[in-house]
C-alpha cells in the first residue's frame, strides 16, 4: 500500500454541495467497482455481491473498534470561480398523476395542489435550482494499491451529481505518488479520533444509506487514534 495523489482536471462546472464535499474518494471507487461488476455479470447483482465488492476496495483499512475506515480523503477543489445558479426544467405531465390514481380535480398543470414545493416523489418540483461550482481541478489523497486503483479509474468520467446533464465532467486525471507527509483529510468518528464533533455521518460507502451514522468531525486519518 502506498500513499497516492489523484488529480483531476475538470471540463466544466460540477454539482457538489453540502455533505457531498465531505464524501471521501472511496465513494468514487465503490461506484466504479460496482458498475464494472454489473457489466461483467450476466444477471443483476445481489445486494450481498455489491457489499462484498465495496468491502474489497484496494484501499488501506484503518481499524476503528470492530469496524474500519478507508484511507481516502475528501475532495479539495483548486482554482474556484463564481458561478450563477442554474434552473433545470423537468417534464411533469398531468397523465403521470392520473396514471398514479390521483383525481384529476387535484391536479393543476401537472403538479398536485398544495404539493408544488415538495422535494421528492410524484410531486417533486419541475424546475429545481442547482448551484454549480466552477473549479479548474480537484484532488484527493489516498493510501492503497496503486495498480488496482489505476485500473478501476479507467472508466472514470465525472464527479458530483447531474452528470447526465454534463456537470462534473473530467477532462483528464493523473495518479501519482504522494509525499509521506501529505495528510488524508476526511470525516472521522469522535470515538476514535481527536476531532471536533460536527455532524452525524456515515463513514463508509454507500454514503446514501441512512443507518450506520456516527458523530464525526474532520481530521487527518494518518494521525494516531486516541
Domain check: are 75 and 165 in the same one? Answer: yes
Q: 93 is in which domain, residue-wise?
A: 89-127
**Distance separating alpha carbons of residues 24 and 27, to the nearest angstrom:** 6
- How does pLDDT run along the chain (226 residues), one tens digit per residue? 999 999 999 999 999 988 889 999 999 999 999 999 999 988 889 989 999 999 999 999 999 888 999 999 999 999 998 888 887 665 555 566 667 676 655 555 444 444 444 455 555 556 677 888 999 999 999 999 999 999 999 999 999 988 888 899 999 999 999 998 999 999 999 999 999 999 999 999 988 888 889 999 999 998 764 4
Domain check: are 104 and 178 in the same one? Answer: no
Domain check: are 114 and 42 in the same one? Answer: no
Burial zone of 90 (CB within 10 Å; 0-12 exposed, 13-18 middle, 19+ buried): exposed
Let me know if residue 159 belongs to a domain.
yes
Domain check: are 34 and 103 in the same one? Answer: no
Taking the model in full, what pTM does it have? 0.82
Domain check: are 13 and 64 in the same one? Answer: yes
**Angle at CA of residue 24, ends 23 and 29, nearest 5°:** 115
Domain check: are 7 and 77 in the same one? Answer: yes
Domain check: are 146 and 112 in the same one? Answer: no
Contact 109, 127 (CB under 8 A): no
Domain check: are 111 and 65 in the same one? Answer: no
Domain check: are 35 and 69 in the same one? Answer: yes
Sequence-ordered list of residues with C-beta below 8 angstroms from that of 58, at least 6 positions apart, any chain = 29, 144, 145, 148, 149, 152
Into how many domains does the chain fold?
2
Domain check: are 19 and 111 in the same one? Answer: no
Contact 38, 169 (CB under 8 A): no
**Distance separating alpha carbons of residues 56 and 34, to the nearest angstrom:** 11
Domain check: are 6 and 65 in the same one? Answer: yes
Sequence-ordered list of residues with C-beta below 8 angstroms from that of 163, at least 6 positions apart, any chain = 157, 169
**Distance separating alpha carbons of residues 53 and 19, to the nearest angstrom:** 24
**Distance separating alpha carbons of residues 213 and 204, to the nearest angstrom:** 9
Question: Which one, of 149, 159, 173, lies nearest residue 70 by Cα?
Answer: 149
Question: Which one, of 152, 146, 140, lies nearest residue 31 by Cα?
Answer: 152
Let me know if residue 209 belongs to a domain.
no
Report pLDDT digits (tens) over 69-91.
999 999 999 999 888 888 766 55
Q: Phi, psi at residue 208, to the nearest 5°?
A: -80, -15
Q: Is residue 87 helix, strand or coil?
A: strand
Amino acid at each position: 500500500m502506498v500513499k497516492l495523489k489523484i488529480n483531476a482536471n475538470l471540463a466544466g462546472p460540477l454539482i457538489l454541495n453540502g455533505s457531498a464535499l465531505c464524501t471521501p474518494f472511496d465513494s468514487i471507487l465503490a461506484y466504479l467497482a460496482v458498475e464494472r461488476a454489473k457489466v461483467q455479470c450476466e444477471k443483476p447483482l445481489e445486494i450481498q455481491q455489491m457489499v462484498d465488492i465495496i468491502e474489497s476496495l484496494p484501499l488501506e483499512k484503518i481499524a476503528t473498534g470492530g469496524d474500519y475506515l478507508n484511507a481516502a480523503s475528501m475532495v479539495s477543489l483548486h482554482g474556484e470561480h463564481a458561478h450563477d445558479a442554474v434552473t433545470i426544467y423537468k417534464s411533469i405531465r398531468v397523465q403521470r398523476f392520473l396514471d398514479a390514481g390521483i383525481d384529476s380535480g387535484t391536479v393543476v398543470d401537472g403538479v398536485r395542489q398544495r404539493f408544488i414545493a415538495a422535494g421528492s416523489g410524484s410531486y417533486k418540483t419541475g424546475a429545481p435550482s442547482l448551484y454549480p461550482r466552477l473549479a479548474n481541478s480537484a484532488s484527493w489523497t489516498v493510501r492503497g494499491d496503486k495498480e488496482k486503483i489505476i485500473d478501476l479509474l479507467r472508466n472514470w468520467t465525472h464527479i458530483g451529481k447531474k452528470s447526465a446533464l454534463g456537470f462534473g465532467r473530467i477532462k483528464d486525471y493523473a495518479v501519482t505518488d504522494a509525499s509521506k507527509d501529505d495528510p488524508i483529510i476526511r470525516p472521522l468518528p469522535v470515538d476514535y479520533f481527536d476531532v471536533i464533533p460536527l455532524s452525524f455521518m456515515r463513514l463508509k460507502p454507500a454514503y446514501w444509506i441512512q443507518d450506520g451514522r456516527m458523530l464525526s468531525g474532520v481530521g487527518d486519518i494518518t494521525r494516531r487514534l486516541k
